[in-house]
Amino acid sequence: MAEAGTGFLEQLKSCIVWSWTYLWTVWFFIVLFLVYILRVPLKINDNLSTVSMFLNTLTPKFYVALTGTSSLISGLILIFEWWYFRKYGTSFIEQVSVSHLRPLLGGADNNSSNNSNSSNGDSDANRQSVSECKVWRNPLNLFRGAEYNRYTWVTGREPLTYYDMNLSAQDHQTFFTCDSDHLRPADAIMQKAWRERNPQARISAAHEALEINECATAYILLAEEEATTIAEAEKLFKQALKAGDGCYRRSQQLQHHGSQYEAQHRRDTNVLVYIKRRLAMCARRLGRTREAVKMMRDLMKEFPLLSMFNIHENLLEALLELQAYADVQAVLAKYDDISLPKSATICYTAALLKARAVSDKFSPEAASRRGLSTAEMNAVEAIHRAVEFNPHVPKYLLEMKSLILPPEHILKRGDSEAIAYAFFHLAHWKRVEGALNLLHCTWEGTFRMIPYPLEKGHLFYPYPICTETADRELLPSFHEVSVYPKKELPFFILFTAGLCSFTAMLALLTHQFPELMGVFAKAFLSTLFAPLNFVMEKVESILPSSLWHQLTRI
């Protein structure tokens, strides 16, 4: 019986909540109608007459004092709200309403995080000492001939900016040339070719170098820019591998014979690593993912010190394609370290793995009722960490913003890195059931956790202000560059500012023009109550006079 009574009370409570949620308009009109009917027993007309008489006896000085006092109070509230916002990054009134009033009304904060500020003290010690706007080579950059040029043929748009291609030319001169190239005719031609701005001139120079000798860098240039398909590029890279491996072995034997030979060996090592890496990327593009993973692992084992190429990011993407999540976690355990520089690939892949454990059963409604479990909390914290590192990625993963081809260079934590990551990893997020839903429900909560002003940071060093300028140079003009979400002023600060200004203006006008303001006040009140009077007149005309007379006598 007790259970039945409890169930009945719960149903009654849910019915009342439902009625107040969806039928509040009906309730409002019913209350107005009852007040109008009961105006005689409640002596509403007499009370209104008394109030009207009281208001007519008030002098303009009273209104000046009233508006001045309200202006002073709202001004004090505004000053306190602004101080609190500058210090804590949120509105005091909004915080009180969310923390104390919302739970009483049956709501809960979906983005609750009890330990959000626990690691704030440690973050300062763990900040990475890297250049704020250092441009990095995109580990997953596309092939110019087989992919970028194909996009230009189809759309007529240039996917690469001059600034981006100029950076690539500088990289090529750094990696593929050395001071002793003038001693070998083919290398001397290629040294000039890397400086050429005209693509056809570069391709012609590469063919000229191949006529003299089997030049690995000449094959690289042709594979990157002349090959129109990935299969053609792979064939040219295999020829480059044969030539580059021979040069590497010869320079390896002579590397200790002087600074000149050391420079040659360093150049030949860079050439060999670049060729093997691009061959692995060709295999990945052509669907031979397991072969690509093996090539990347072998390359990382053979050249463990060349971390500047970020080959592990290629490996992570290929392992995700194979759904080898245990291997992905093993790679992350090695590279997601405090002492190593982070990237969107590392942060968001870590978030994806933690989201994968809970996303298939995650429901925001259920989480708001029972709270987040430990696994869900870990997943949410990982998403917050990733979003703080690069806040531009979620809009591309959630397809709120259209993707473009990634540039050849990226700016970490910038829009260019977000495009490069989402271009290859969107499919992996879609493959994990519920992962995008969890991201959608939680990613915006990151900006409420970051201290204000933004120079303080939270888990990472503060977000660099210069990224927007650099991204505009890296990304094509037809793309709208994503910028860091600005923390807007809370509603109550704007409301109190408007209230303070409005009441101060009323006080001034009432003091200067008391009679005119009285006329305006009466006109305003009559206009405000005109719709209600119109409705009541219609009701009196519709209802029969006898019924209306009986209702007014109740």
If you write DSSP's letter for every residue of 352-370 in order, what string do you get?
HHHHHTTGGG--HHHHHHH
Q: Are 276 and 403 within one domain?
A: no
Domain enclosing residue 20, as ranges: 14-88
Q: Are 330 and 444 within one domain?
A: yes
Q: Is residue 140 part of a domain?
A: no
Residue 128's pLDDT band (boundaries 50, 70, 90)? Answer: very low
Residue 233 is predicted with a pLDDT of 92
The residues facing 410 across adjacent strands are: 136
Is the pLDDT reported for residue 44 higher than 70? no
Using DSSP's 3-state secondary structure scheme, residue 486 falls into coil
Q: Is residue 100 part of a domain?
A: no
**Percent of residues, the chain, with pLDDT higher than 70:** 71
Q: Where is the domain boundary, 63, 88, 113? A: 88
Does residue 388 contact residue 460 with C-beta atoms inside 8 Å?
A: yes
The CB density around residue 184, as the number of other CB atoms within 10 Å, is: 17
Q: Are 455 and 504 within one domain?
A: no
Q: Are 150 and 289 within one domain?
A: yes
pLDDT digits (tens, 9 = 90+) for 300-359: 888 877 666 788 889 999 999 998 999 999 988 888 776 677 888 999 999 999 998 888
Tell me the average pLDDT of the chain: 77
Calculate mean pLDDT across residues 123-132. 39
DSSP string, 66-98: HHHHHHHHHHHHHHHHHHHHHHHSS-HHHHHII
Domain count, the chain: 4
Amino acid in the structure at residue 197: R
Q: Is residue 328 part of a domain?
A: yes
| Rounded Cα–Cα distance for residues 260 and 254 (Å) | 10
Calculate mean pLDDT across residues 472-483. 89
Closest by alpha carbon to 368, among 18, 106, 15, 100? 106
Is the pLDDT reported for residue 452 higher than 50? yes
373 vs 45: which has the higher pLDDT: 373
Asked whether the whole model's pTM tops 0.75, one would answer no
Q: Is residue 51 part of a domain?
A: yes
Q: Is residue 384 part of a domain?
A: yes
Q: Are 449 and 515 within one domain?
A: no
Q: Where is the domain boundary, 44, 60, 88? A: 88
Q: Where is the domain boundary, 282, 309, 336? A: 309
Q: Are 336 and 439 within one domain?
A: yes
| Rounded Cα–Cα distance for residues 404 and 478 (Å) | 10
Q: Are 305 and 185 within one domain?
A: yes
**453 upstream amide cis, omega within 30 of 0:** yes
Q: Are 201 and 244 within one domain?
A: yes
Q: Are 300 and 355 within one domain?
A: no
Handedness of CA 133, 134, 139, 145 (dihedral sign): positive
Question: 164: burial class by Cβ within 10 Å (0-12, 13-18, 19+)?
Answer: buried
pLDDT digits (tens, 9 = 90+) for 243-282: 888 888 887 777 667 677 788 888 888 889 999 999 999 9
| Rounded Cα–Cα distance for residues 449 and 455 (Å) | 13
Q: Are 457 and 346 within one domain?
A: yes
Q: Is residue 301 part of a domain?
A: yes
Q: Is residue 336 part of a domain?
A: yes
DSSP summary character for residue 101 = I
Is the pLDDT reported for residue 153 higher than 50? yes
Amino acid in the structure at residue 212: I
Residue 540's pLDDT band (boundaries 50, 70, 90)? Answer: low
Amino acid in the structure at residue 126: N
Amino acid in the structure at residue 281: M
Q: Are 217 and 150 within one domain?
A: yes
Calculate mean pLDDT across residues 452-463. 64
Q: Are 294 and 354 within one domain?
A: no
Q: Is residue 283 part of a domain?
A: yes
